[in-house]
């Protein structure tokens, strides 16, 4: 098993796992939707990779078998994020034939180290039932409910 950080030479490689993840969650796309998402994702990766967006890749025999993404956002500091930086873990995905071998954990440990190096106040993620035990073993916890109500306004 080889673990490494993605670079600009991995652009095509980074788009595919995102769609593998979407598919594993039961999402489907028309060819037009997939083309638009691919263009937007490719543009995002080109602009942000290894600046405020990081991707860990596990390879076995030279083939990628697991990926995890870390997106870092910065906000004005407050008591909940004293450094102003928050990391979001996304797209933790391991192909089924390579699960239960520590691949996702290896990716996550690398991204946790990067988040610490980048001075993030905390990491957040949305856990699937399958991933929840992995995240709990790494120390992730369900946050204490806030007295604020999360809300969202969709713009698209």
What does residue 63 show for φ and ψ, rounded to 5 degrees? Answer: -110, 135
Percent of the chain with pLDDT over 90: 72
Minimum mean pLDDT range among 26-30, 45-49, 112-116: 26-30
Dihedral (CA of 113, 119, 122, 126) sign:
negative
pTM here is 0.90
User: Are residues 108 and 35 in contact, defined by beta-carbon separation less than 8 angstroms?
Assistant: no
pLDDT of residue 147: 83
Structural domains of the chain in order of their starting residue, each with its CATH number:
2-136 (3.40.630.30)
User: Are residues 25 and 130 in contact, defined by beta-carbon separation less than 8 angstroms?
Assistant: no
Find the mean pLDDT for residues 93-105: 93
Q: Which of 32-36, 69-73, 139-143, 152-156 has the highest mean pLDDT?
A: 69-73
User: Is residue 106's pLDDT more than 90?
Assistant: yes
């Amino acid at each position: 098993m080889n673990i490494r950080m993605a670079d600009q030479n991995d652009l095509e490689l980074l788009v595919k796992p995102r769609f593998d993840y979407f598919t594993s969650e039961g999402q489907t796309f028309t060819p037009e939707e997939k083309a638009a998402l691919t263009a937007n994702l490719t543009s995002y990766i080109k602009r942000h990779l290894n600046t405020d967006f990081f991707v860990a890749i596990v390879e076995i025999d030279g083939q990628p078998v697991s990926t995890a993404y870390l997106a870092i956002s910065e906000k004005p500091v407050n008591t909940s994020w004293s450094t102003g930086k928050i990391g979001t873990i996304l797209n933790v995905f391991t192909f089924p034939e390579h699960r239960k071998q520590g691949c996702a954990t290896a990716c996550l440990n690398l991204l946790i180290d990067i988040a610490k190096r980048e001075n993030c106040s905390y990491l957040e993620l949305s856990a699937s039932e399958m991933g929840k035990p992995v995240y709990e073993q790494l120390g992730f916890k369900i946050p204490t409910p806030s007295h604020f109500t999360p809300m969202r306004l969709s713009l698209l």
